[in-house]
Chains A and B, each alone.
Chain A
Amino acid sequence: MKIDFNLNSVAATEFGVGRDDSPEQTFRLVPVDDDVQVALREMAGATRTAMDTMTGDSPKYEPSERYESCEYVYLPLDDELAKQLRLLHEAKNIPVDTAALADSSEIFCYFARITDKQGRRLTALRRATQFKGVLKSRLIRLATDALRMIEDKVFKLDNDFDLLIDASNVHILRPSGFEFVGKLQDAVLAAAPANVKAIQHDLQFVDFSAVEQYVGKHPRAARYLASIRSQKAAKSIDKRALKEQCKATGVEIREEKGKIIVDEHQVMGFLEVLDRRRYEVELVKDSPERFRAVGRRKLQR
């Protein structure tokens, strides 16, 4: 997927950090010199190169999917799950705070805001593990012919970013970094009631009251719901086919007054069926096997 930004024609490069200032997260810019700006642009370039070298079309991010540590996926910037990052990308005149690095234990991420000469903006962001971790370790350097302790505070930039944001999409290289910084767990839990309502609208013949109660306390179930909604996976589901699939994959449901009722202990299985994660194969005659897919990708043909 093409990133709508020209890294070779940059008008301004800004650096900032995200801080866990209770009760909310805050983002602050920290002035940096031209060498750091060059390093940040190189990191953004390395991230884009890493994305480009990954084969095939990048799939859309799904909250229910389990990803590799490095896997290029994307999420439209207007998606509700990208809310936190959209707010950061679109924030205007983020305050400058030269003391933002004073208490590094509060820093959860660092980012670069790069503006090209056509006025387009690229936000590049990295979860602050090394940035934080290096401060706790002891650093030494070669001074003359002997190693010496580095007394100053040292912040180590990484080789690349976890994600890049352009005008339309969040390009994710490390899904776990995106989930952490984008506060995905909070987002899916907050969106769960609305997702239940939307899926209920598509599946009028299912009673979702048990699902609604269950997802409020179970983040993974809330992720399944978000995925089912975003993929529009519940649209046009046939009631009979759904019942047969539940039966075939061992999900116990019952029917009362024309509505499918799901018991609380069967909610995860039911959501897995809706999210196309529970399936049966029968390669050995009369020996059907049931599986649950931790990761799955739709085949185009």
Chain B
Amino acid sequence: MSDGRHREGLKAARLLMVLSSVSPLFILWAIRGNKLIPDGYFLAFCAVMVVVPNGFLWLRMRTARKLDERRELVVGSAEDHRDHLLVYLFAMLLPFYASDLGTWRDTAGVLAALGFIVFLFWHLNMHYMNLLFAIFGYRVFTISPATADTNPFSGKSILVLITRRVSLVPDEHVVAYRLSDTVYFEDDK
């Protein structure tokens, strides 16, 4: 989703947003518990993995509002990506939940696999994949540039808009807060 040669900013922020998107997994693991690690340590670890990234996501949204980091987005074409959440649920959450954490090697293997997934989510700018958005009634749209737009200065990247709108039409203008260079959040306050 990057545009041309320039690099995507907010690297650490995007990593924490990815961790926020995998935080439901830690809730499930905390409920299930682990035979190898005492509950006190394991629950504390899971709590940190849930609270810190989501706290950061909340902080990022608050900062964007406070600094008035708004920009106008123009819709070329838009797709509602609720199905991405299903993919996320079935491809990541359930397999990881079902995996056996009975030995240290199993646990290490699962954590390594989780590391790969986090890296991929971070690298592919999929940090918008978050159950919290769905819980609060937001939809995730990908906004692609209009194919007929030959303006050399127009962005060619696909952008992500998190919004409560149910649909977006071509050429619609939306003013939204910037969470990262490619992910935007429309506040209805």
Contact = CB atoms under 8 A, between A and B. Distances in A.
Most buried by B among A88, A92, A98, A99: A92
A13 B6 CA distance: 22
A151 interface: no
A165 B2 CA distance: 29
A27 interface: yes
B22 to A, nearest CB: 25
Given A12-B175, A28-B6, A94 B153 contact: yes
A14 B3 contact: no
Interface residues of A, number: 30
Interface stretch (A30-38, A131-139, A207-215, A221-229): A30-38
A171 interface: no
B50 to A, nearest CB: 28
Nearest to A102: B6
Contact of B155 (A11, A24, A90, A93): A93
Nearest to A96: B181
B179 to A, nearest CB: 11
Contacts, number: 83
Interface in B151-167: 151-157, 159
A90 B150 CA distance: 11
A14 B69 CA distance: 8
A97 B6 contact: yes
Query: Majority SS of interface residues in chain B?
Result: loop
Q: Which of A12, A14, A37, A90 has the most CB of B within 10 A?
A: A12
Interface string A15-49: 00000000010111101011001000000000000
Contacts of B69: 31, 33
A99 B154 contact: no
B89 interface: no
A97 B10 CA distance: 11
Given A31-B178, A95-B3, A98-B9, A14 B152 contact: no
A95 B68 contact: no
A115 B175 contact: yes
B189 interface: no
Contacts of A37: 68
B62 interface: no
A146 interface: no
Classify chain B: how many residues form its interface, as a range.
Answer: 20 to 34
A88 B72 contact: no
A96 B175 contact: no
A171 B144 CA distance: 32
A121 interface: yes
A283 interface: no
A92 B9 contact: no
Interface string B59-103: 000000011111111101000000000000000000000000000
A93 B70 CA distance: 12
Contact of A27 (B76, B145, B153, B181): B153
B35 interface: no
A87 interface: yes
A119 to B, nearest CB: 6
Nearest to A33: B67
Interface in A24-83: 24, 26-29, 31, 33-34, 37
Contact of B68 (A34, A87, A94, A115): A34
A91 interface: yes
Interface of B: 3-4, 6-7, 9-10, 66-74, 76, 143, 145-146, 149, 151-157, 159, 173, 175, 178, 181
Q: Which 5 residue pairs are nearest across A and B when measured between Cβ atoms?
A: A98-B9, A91-B153, A93-B155, A95-B3, A92-B74
